[in-house]
Amino acid sequence: MESRKVKKIVRESYDKIARTPNAGCGCGCKNRQAISKSIGYTEAEMNAVPEANLGLGCGNPTALGKIRAGDTVLDLGSGAGFDAFLAARKVGSEGKVIGVDMTEAMVNKARENVKKYQYHNVEFRLGDIERLPVEDHSVDVIISNCVINLAPDKRKVFQEASRVLKSGGRMYVSDIVLLQPLPEELKNNERLLSGCVAGALLKDDYLNIAKQAGFQVKILGENTEISKQQYLGIPLESLSIELTK
């Protein structure tokens, strides 16, 4: 499917989620708290900014990430800001968190949460993760949670991540990857596109693209249970990785 059409389908799906209370995620799941708990979030994390937890993740990159006080952190596909706000607590007043999302309703929701909870070290920018509105070599840590699979050009996403990271920077990603090829008839299924399946790559292809962008890759965790819980038995897994330059 053409890249522009894929982005339109994904944007419209997540616009609806942002605007509709209890809409659930793109794959049809609705129990946000249960999903978040199953992928590693604590009760305290889930309750920090509850409006930002939309149950859209497949891992907890802020827990895996070596985020330090004073760091500048970039969240790719930040949604309503759930992971960005958790990262903001780690970087402290001397640090900064930037969230980038292509869905205007999500960015607006995140900005509302900034005002409501008075976060002074977080900002959200409307933009495409294939063309980041972020300066070269300006970020210490990148996090991303179940988003890169939605981008048509994943190679460009990792290249952009490499561009904005400082030398020695780190990237922590939780994402959906396929364990065997997806049948052709499912690749253009709109529900599966917005539900993190139809756009997913085979695991080895995903890791190779990251390596080709100049990253060293370390696998931190693999969860195949997510396919049984959410994706109708399609053979995939939630993969958590650390990438270093």
d(CA 199, CA 122): 29
> Sheet of 216-223: strands edge to edge?
122-126, 96-101, 72-76, 139-145, 165-178, 236-244, 216-223
pLDDT, position 125: 98
Note the CATH number of domain 3-244.
Answer: 3.40.50.150
pLDDT, position 26: 45
pLDDT, position 230: 53
* pTM listed for this prediction: 0.92
- pLDDT < 70 regions, the chain: 21-34, 226-233
Domain borders along the chain are: 3-244
Tens-digit pLDDT profile for residues 133-166? 999 999 999 999 999 999 999 999 999 999 999 9
Tokens 């693209």 found at: 209
